[in-house]
Chains A and B, each alone.
Chain A
Amino acid sequence: MRKTRVHWLYLAPALFFLTMYLIYPSIRTIILSFYGPRSQNFVGFHNYITAFTSPSMLVAFRNNLLWVLVFTFFNVGLGLVLAVLLDRVRYEVLVKSIVFLPMAISYVAAGVIWKFMYAYRPTYAAQIGLLNAIVVALGGKPIGWLIERPWINNLALIAVGVWVWTGFCTVVISAAYKGIPKEMLEAARIDGANEWQVFWRITIPYLKSTLAMVTTTMIVFVLKVFDIVYIMTNGAYDTEVIANRMYKEMFLYQNYGLASAIAVVLFVLIVPFSLINIRRFRAQEAVR
């Protein structure tokens, strides 16, 4: 009997902060999502209908899907390739440091830097953007990297995200890779397995849980993508993403109802991936 009371006491601070900073705002957001722009009149599912039918939101859904697929694939893929290949070279630490360096840069700064990289000037003027300078030097015509829809500009934005996050994936996967018992790899090679077989039959299965963790983490990150898009195109030319739309509706257009509805939609999209992550984490803890 006394026990139960004491554990409530221990839990109280955590519960208090969880309620204040997580549960209360979530419930409030859900309530607001059923109200009009100024949160005064009840509008039912109107905001959700807008969130799922307005042209800009449809574009945002498509782009978020594109981000999830391309961003996650390249980050985890490049991270894995770099982790495995760099393990065999002497200058591993140097390269890993360079790849990891962009992690230290904020998304906003990365956006500004890459805006210079992608800068466009006409054929008859001096190019001030590195990419177009290369294109022109090779005899091509300058490309509007951030303007050509629907693929070039979206991929150009995703490339910035990959540039920032590959380092993180490389370091995490590399740490797990170094945990593979060397005897196992050696034994496989002695038994006649080629590098390709070693990679697919030993490395990948061994890294499975790490890869799954990195992948779900990347998905959760990328569903919320905002800064890069906001800084570089602000969603123009069909590069809109859900979080940028939410920001606009909330802070620029002061449509609190629609902004809350979009926030709830984003929340619902992220929850399953967070759950997967938590479940996997628990499973790992149980093994330990």
Chain B
Amino acid sequence: MRKYALLAVAVLVLGGMAFAKGSISIMVVWSGTELEAFQKVVGAFEDKTGIDVKVESVGRDLPTVLVTRFEAGNPPDLAAMPNPGQMAEFVARGGLVPVEGFVDLSQHPKAFVDLATVGDHVYGIFISADLKSLVWYNPDALYAEGLAPADSWDELMYITETLASRGKVPWAIGLESGAASGWPGTDWIEDIMLRTAGPELYDKWVAHEIPWTHPAVKRAFELFGAIVRNEDYVYGGTTGALSINFGDSPAVLWDEPPGAYLHRQATFIKSFIANAHPELDLDRDVAFFVFPPIDPKWGTPLLGAGDLISAFRDTPEVEAFLKYLASAEAQSIWCGALGKLAINVNVDPSIYPDALTAQAAEILKGAKIFRFDASDLMPAAVGSGAFWTGVLDYVSGVDLDTVLENIESAAQEAYGG
């Protein structure tokens, strides 16, 4: 009996050691505070399981490093995917492990599971997201005009026209961003495109399966133009929109009297508002509503970006780590530290630094359709080049057909090569 007990102990100890020896590697894009937060997430996992997780931070070079390592037959066990498009490419080359067999995805909104699905399998899990489809406003100022947040494009245009007819400026738009000028406009067009053309056509647009001269793209530009190219609708008119920095632009909403009433921008703009107006009580004086639907058929898709993790190898340790990353526990640590929005619906809203972030997280939970920022997914010559310049040209008065033809010619060169 004692002999058996000893043997059992020995087996347990050896087994435990073998388990403790289990180590996995993950390649991530994060550095600085983001890396620190991720180390915290990893630390809690290591304490719980004894599995050693090696975090390799390669910064912005991740796409290149990851592809090189993959091609050399030496990928990490797991990696943060730059975006769903790149994930699909790894899937096509047979590199990734389907996760739906061992990760409980019922706690993730369908929109995010869909985004990580290729064919019949799910190849990655989202640990957090950022939300771009928001219209910010100053509640006191908007209500003082007898107006309320818009639930539809018509209402949004009604607010816009009403304010303009009273000699007020409805929108604050800032497209200037140094060498990256124009990107805030691309976000506008992407949000409109999702709402007028739907996610499938949006994906085709990203993949350049439809040309830039397609009527759907043209319509998205025109709807944006109906606001931004109207001198009475934008703070400073078109020259103002082109000259004013994106970060400075929303500040006028809280000036006395308000310089403008509405501002479309992602969650991160909150800190710019707080910097420009330190006297504000963010929970009371600052609010947003979701960029409203345009074509009822497509409802209210959300635009943003997300942190996606996929696995190149299937081992028990990798499975345990992915299960953990998908859990409310891991995402609470990660999002609590960074103010990012968690994907797991069971994450307690109290982990967020403020009510605005919690509210944005709530919106994300209800996401039916979520799409990545299109310009980030396109080849740089288009997504960080011709598209940006195209928006600036269009706003500054260049004929839309010329603008779209210019982007299309850049796209033919970029996607062709």
Contact = CB atoms under 8 A, between A and B. Distances in A.
Nearest to B388: A236
B396 A149 contact: yes
Given A36-B417, A55-B406, A234-B178, A120 B240 contact: yes
Contacts of B181: 233-234, 236
Interface in B233-263: 235-237, 239-240, 242-244, 252, 259
A249 B381 CA distance: 8
A146 B243 contact: yes
A76 B106 CA distance: 73
Nearest to B239: A144
Contacts of B179: 230-231, 234
A248 B393 contact: no
B242 A253 contact: no
Interface string B375-401: 000011100110011001100100000
A258 B381 CA distance: 12
Contact of B243 (A144, A235, A254): A144
Chain A interface SS verdict (over half): loop
Contact of A237 (B244, B388, B396, B406): B396
A231 B177 CA distance: 10
Which of under 10, 10 to 19, 20 to 34, or 35 or more describes the interface residues of B?
Answer: 20 to 34
A254 B385 CA distance: 12
Contacts of B237: 122
B379 A120 contact: no
Which of under 10, 10 to 19, 20 to 34, or 35 or more describes the interface residues of A?
Answer: 20 to 34
B414 interface: yes
Given A55-B406, A125-B259, A236-B182, A120 B417 contact: no
A63 to B, nearest CB: 14
A55 B404 CA distance: 13
Given A119-B243, A120-B236, A122-B240, A255 B389 contact: no
Contacts of B396: 147, 149, 237
A37 interface: yes
Nearest to A146: B243
A26 interface: no
B243 A147 contact: yes
Chain B interface SS verdict (over half): helix
A224 interface: no
B281 interface: no
A147 B393 contact: no
Interface in B2-39: none
B74 interface: no
Nearest to A38: B417
A122 B237 CA distance: 8
Given A122-B235, A144-B239, A253-B379, A237 B392 contact: yes
B65 to A, nearest CB: 15
Of B243, B381, B384, B413, which is in contact with the most chain A CB atoms at under 10 Å from its CB? Answer: B243
A199 to B, nearest CB: 43
A197 interface: no
Nearest to A143: B239
Nearest to A240: B389
A233 B235 CA distance: 21
B105 to A, nearest CB: 36
B385 A50 contact: no
A186 B417 CA distance: 69
Nearest to B381: A253
A38 B67 CA distance: 14
B306 to A, nearest CB: 24
Contacts of B388: 236
Given A237-B393, A255-B381, 7 more contacts: A122-B235, A122-B237, A230-B179, A231-B178, A234-B178, A234-B179, A235-B389
20 contacts: A36-B417, A37-B417, A54-B410, A55-B409, A119-B243, A121-B236, A121-B243, A122-B236, A122-B240, A146-B243, A148-B239, A236-B182, A236-B392, A237-B393, A252-B381, A252-B385, A253-B380, A253-B381, A253-B384, A253-B385
